[in-house]
Amino acid sequence: MQYTWNDIEQHVSACTHCPLCRTRQRPVMGRGSHRASIMLIAEAPGGQEDRQGVPFVGSSGEILDRLLGDCGLKREELYITNIIKCHPPGNRDPKEEEKEACFPYLKYETFLLKPGIIVCLGRVAAQRIISPDFKITRQHGTWICRKNCALTATFHPSAVLRDPSKYETVKKDFLGIAEKLRSLNTDKPIDIVGK
Residue whose CB is less far from ligand URA, 26 or 184 = 26
Residue whose CB is less far from ligand URA, 64 or 177 = 64
The answer to the question of residue 82 lying near ligand URA (CB under 6 A) is yes
Q: How far apart are CA 151 and CA 57, in angstroms?
A: 24
Q: How far apart are CA 53 and CA 142, in angstroms?
A: 31
Minimal distance, residue 34 CB to ligand URA, in Å: 18
Q: How far apart are CA 154 and CA 120, in angstroms?
A: 6
* Residues β-bridged to residue 120: 41, 153
Minimal distance, residue 154 CB to ligand URA, in Å: 13
Minimal distance, residue 36 CB to ligand URA, in Å: 16
Instruction: Please state, in angstroms and as integers, the Cα–Cα distance from residue 64 to each residue in 27, 75, 182, following that order.
Output: 21, 9, 20
Please list every residue from 119 through 138 that binds ligand URA, using CB under 6 A: none
Contact residues: ligand URA, CB under 6 A: 28, 42-46, 49, 55-56, 60, 82
